[in-house]
Amino acid sequence: MPTSLYAIALGSNQPHPRLGRPHKVLAGAFAALDAAPLALVVASPIISSRPLGPSIRTYANAAALVETALSPPDLLDHLKAIEAEFGRKAGGERWRARVLDLDILLWSGGAFADDALCIPHREMRKRSFVLDPLAAIAPDWRDPLSGLSVRHLKARLDRKAAAA
């Protein structure tokens, strides 16, 4: 069965009862992303970032490239199952504290959209906590909508932040 490469964003800002602090949660999540039906290709360094929205806890963020034969919707279901295994409750409020958040950023198959999923991730281009770790592991991967590389998207965002 043919496989695809996916870029996944990881985030955590709540401790896990067994794993501990958010940085340790992401280390555990990397292990979960390296279990069938996924194969972890590379993991970025873990960074700390300020929260968006109403959450007050600092986030640990990272990115990973995984290879799998799963389709985008099936991968989304699998990632939601991993989040649930880590204690994330379904349907929580947007931008609230969470033990683990896994988002599909990019797919080697290009763009994908249905009612539950949009690839590339709609907010990816606006978030340094996503682009910084992603640029560390996939700087030349091109956004299928803009045609720009992750490196270029990050440089644009960095320039915009410096001008503000």
Q: Does residue 74 carry a catalytic annotation?
A: no
Q: Does residue 96 carry a catalytic annotation?
A: no
Q: Does residue 101 carry a catalytic annotation?
A: yes
Query: What are the CA-CA distances from residue 4 to residues 41, 45, 51, 58 (Å)?
Result: 11, 23, 31, 32
Q: Which of 101, 125, 132, 143 is catalytic?
A: 101
Q: Which helix (H) or strand (E) holds 4?
A: strand 4-12
Q: Does residue 103 carry a catalytic annotation?
A: yes
Helices (H) and strands (E) in the chain, counts: 4, 7
DSSP alpha helices (H): ranges in the chain?
A: 22-32, 72-85, 128-137, 150-163
Q: Which of 98, 125, 132, 143 is catalytic?
A: 98
DSSP alpha helices (H): ranges in 33-67?
A: none
Q: Which of 21, 57, 88, 96 is catalytic?
A: 88
Which residues are known to be catalytic?
88, 98, 101, 103
